[in-house]
A and B are shown apart, each in its own frame.
Chain A
Amino acid sequence: DQQVKQNSPSLSVQEGRISILNCDYTNSMFDYFLWYKKYPAEGPTFLISISSIKDKNEDGRFTVFLNKSAKHLSLHIVPSQPGDSAVYFCAASPGTGANNLFFGTGTRLTVIP
């Protein structure tokens, strides 16, 4: 049973435009959410996180939005750059820390120069 879902396996965006990656979850006990980026032959690298007490967290070009009532979060990348091309994973934790993470299946983002 997949508790964290990323329904779009791929996304293509023009350089300079906004990339929006979506993630849905089913477990109302999830309190902490993270986004990771993964390049081929590398492990996932942490991008940004948000706790359930917030609805938005911003770090440079990356913003994560959380809609708890809809059990939905999204990652916005503005402006998108070719170096952002990677697989993006959404993850959720039932606690306030990152010791117990449930991952989505990933979305492959391609930023077209």
Chain B
Amino acid sequence: SAVISQKPSRDICQRGTSLTIQCQVDSQVTMMFWYRQQPGQSLTLIATANQGSEATYESGFVIDKFPISRPNLTFSTLTVSNMSPEDSSIYLCSVTGGGSQETQYFGPGTRLLVL
């Protein structure tokens, strides 16, 4: 299994500002994923981040709003830009692994509140 850490664990931000969330994995992985979980909702995939290439964004998410960096095989960042209260969510990063029972391993999440 993979051990994933995220920083910050939580933050309160003012509208119009930006926040960068860091995700660190204890092993090298090819694909990293960024999710958003809005209150009472399911986990929604924002984008897939591969090292050395542009992130692939899901429908409804754009690079200008959620720029992603993936400088190496153990680290990625997600920036939430020009925040509004609607961006208040839990943001999670994950990686795949697990061999025969393949799964995604998740970080603890970053709880964001935008005022």
Residues on A lying within 8 angstroms of B by beta carbon are: 2, 4, 32, 34, 36, 41-46, 48-49, 89, 96-99, 101, 103-106
Bound-state Cα–Cα, A99 to B94, Å: 10
Give B89 Cβ to nearest chain A Cβ, in Å: 14
Q: Which of B40, B41, B43, B96 contacts A98 (CB 8 A)?
A: B96
Give A31 Cβ to nearest chain B Cβ, in Å: 12
Task: Determine, out of B61-69, B80-88, B100-108, the stretch whose residues face the partner at the interface.
Answer: B100-108
Contacts of A99 in B (CB 8 A): 31, 48, 96
Chain B interface residue count, Cβ-Cβ cutoff 8 angstroms: 24
Bound-state Cα–Cα, A84 to B40, Å: 20
Contacts of A41 in B (CB 8 A): 9, 108-109, 111
Give A33 Cβ to nearest chain B Cβ, in Å: 11
A-B contact count (CB 8 A): 55
- Give B2-42 interface residues, CB cut-off 8 Å to A: 4, 9, 31, 40-42
Task: Check if A89 sits within 8 Å of B98, measured CB to CB.
Answer: no
Contacts of A49 in B (CB 8 A): 101-103
Bound-state Cα–Cα, A99 to B95, Å: 9
**Could you list some 18 contacts between A and B, CB below 8 A?**
A4-B42, A41-B108, A41-B111, A43-B94, A44-B43, A44-B92, A46-B98, A46-B101, A49-B101, A49-B102, A49-B103, A97-B96, A98-B96, A98-B98, A98-B102, A99-B48, A101-B45, A105-B41
Bound-state Cα–Cα, A32 to B102, Å: 10
| Given A97-B96, A98-B96, A105-B104 contact (CB < 8 Å) | no
Task: Check if A43 sits within 8 Å of B106, measured CB to CB.
Answer: yes
Bound-state Cα–Cα, A105 to B41, Å: 5
Bound-state Cα–Cα, A104 to B98, Å: 21
Give A19 Cβ to nearest chain B Cβ, in Å: 20
Bound-state Cα–Cα, A89 to B48, Å: 20
| Given A49-B101, A98-B98, A99-B96, A44-B42 contact (CB < 8 Å) | no
Contacts of B104 in A (CB 8 A): 46, 98, 101
Q: Which of A89, A97, A106 contacts B102 (CB 8 A)?
A: A97
Contacts of B98 in A (CB 8 A): 46, 98
